[in-house]
Amino acid sequence: METLTALSVADFAAAIDKHIRPASFPIAVTMVRPGEPLPPKVRRPAADLGFQTAICQGFALARRYGWPIAIGVDDLSCPLAKAVFGFTPRVDFFEEGHACAGMYTATPAAGAMTEAAVDKFPYRQYDYIVLAPLHRCDFVPDVVLIYGTSAQVMRLVTAALWKTGGRLETSFSGRIDCADAVITTIQKGKPNVILPCYGDRVFAQTEEHEMAFSVPVSWMADIIEGLEGTHKGGIRYPIPNFLRYTAQYPPHYNTLNEKLDQARAEQSEP
């Protein structure tokens, strides 16, 4: 991976703003290991804001309020995020599917399959997840997360495939999308399409028309190149509608058109 600079982060932010125009700020995400300092000027939800948060709520605070947020185990309300981000040890109740069964799956056995399919960090690999709007990012992000419409996400998919072609593979469960956005993207080192989960919609108030797209830091230059290349090739956002056609009108409009043309012709006679 090329050395990342503040300029390259700013270049990526500018490219997203120019070509994607998201309604909320792109989110810079970094994971902080035990013993590492937090970036300056971050807010801790429990200590500084007076409440515990889910990670998807932290996404919303960063992208809608523009606040840099650091979330550790004491700040985190969501037990699913505690388990999969490795902020606490995982327990049998989780692994055996009981937190899933009856809500997302018919049985604990099916729930265990769902939980096993979620990408996870080992216990205490990281102590914090730090989130900030990309344009105010003063740290090197591991991931950039962009919420947008399906058309904006489609635009990012085409940019990701500009150099390689092929297809972008992703998977969905409708659950624990914070893991899809951050853990999967870091571990696989590839961009990922994110289908906002139920909790993201309930607790972070993500809207029905929104999806998201995650970009590992090593892909930022390729995404910039892909956005510029596809733009020059005619793939644009906002999507340009085809408007060069003659409209079809109701019959009585056509009758009126004929009478207007006749009146104009009579008026122009000597």
Query: What is the domain extent for residue 238?
Result: 6-268
Start-to-end CA distance of the chain, whole Å, equals 79
Answer for the pair 49, 55: CB distance below 8 angstroms, yes or no.
no
Classify residue 33: in a domain, yes or no.
yes
Backbone torsion region of residue 108, taken as left when φ is above 0, otherwise alpha when ψ lies between -120 and 50, otherwise beta: alpha
Q: How many domains does the chain have?
A: 1
> What is the average pLDDT score of the chain?
95
Contact 80, 111 (CB under 8 A): no
**Which pLDDT score, from 0 to 100, does residue 180 have?**
98
C-alpha 80/C-alpha 177 separation (Å) is 11
74 within some domain: yes
The pTM assigned to this predicted structure is: 0.93
Span 199-205, average pLDDT:
97
Within-domain flag for 135: yes
Answer yes or no: is 229 within a domain. Answer: yes
- For residue 248, being part of any structural domain is answered with yes
pLDDT digits (tens, 9 = 90+) for 64-104: 999 999 999 999 999 999 999 999 999 999 999 999 999 99
Q: Would you say 177 and 56 are in contact if contact means Cβ atoms under 8 Å apart?
A: yes
Domain annotation covers residue 1: no
Indicate whether 103 belongs to any domain. Answer: yes
